[in-house]
A and B are shown apart, each in its own frame.
Chain A
Amino acid sequence: GAGVSQSPSNKVTEKGKDVELRCDPISGHTALYWYRQRLGQGLEFLIYFQGNSAPDKSGLPSDRFSAERTGESVSTLTIQRTQQEDSAVYLCASSSGTGGMGGELFFGEGSRLTVL
Chain B
Amino acid sequence: GEDVEQSLFLSVREGDSSVINCTYTDSSSTYLYWYKQEPGAGLQLLTYIFSNMDMKQDQRLTVLLNKKDKHLSLRIADTQTGDSAIYFCAESYSFASGGSYIPTFGRGTSLIVHP
Interface residues of A (CB under 8 A from B): 3-4, 31, 33, 35, 40-43, 45, 48, 50, 55-56, 91, 93, 98-99, 101-110
Band of interface residues on B: 20 to 34
Bound Cα distance from A49 to B88, whole angstroms: 22
Interface string of B11-37 (1 = CB under 8 A from A): 000000000000000000011000100
B33 → chain A closest CB, angstroms: 8
When distances are taken between beta carbons in the complex, the residues of chain B under 8 Å from A108 are: 42
When distances are taken between beta carbons in the complex, the residues of chain B under 8 Å from A110 are: 42
- Of all chain B residues, the one with the shortest Cβ separation from A99 is B99
B53 → chain A closest CB, angstroms: 12
Give the tally of cross-chain contacts (CB within 8 A).
66
Interface residues of B (CB under 8 A from A): 4, 30-31, 35, 40-45, 48, 50, 88, 92, 94-95, 97-108
New A-B pairs, 6, CB < 8 Å, besides A3-B42, A93-B43, A107-B43 = A42-B88, A43-B105, A55-B98, A55-B100, A102-B30, A102-B92
Known contacts: A42-B107, A42-B108, A109-B41. The answer to whether A101 contacts B31 by CB under 8 A is yes
- Of all chain A residues, the one with the shortest Cβ separation from B30 is A102
Judge whether B42 and A56 touch: CB under 8 Å: no
When distances are taken between beta carbons in the complex, the residues of chain A under 8 Å from B98 are: 50, 55, 98
Judge whether A109 and B107 touch: CB under 8 Å: no
* 20 A-B pairs whose Cβ atoms sit less than 8 Å apart in the complex: A31-B100, A35-B105, A42-B105, A42-B107, A42-B108, A43-B43, A55-B95, A55-B97, A55-B98, A55-B100, A56-B100, A56-B102, A98-B100, A104-B45, A105-B35, A106-B42, A107-B35, A107-B43, A107-B44, A110-B42
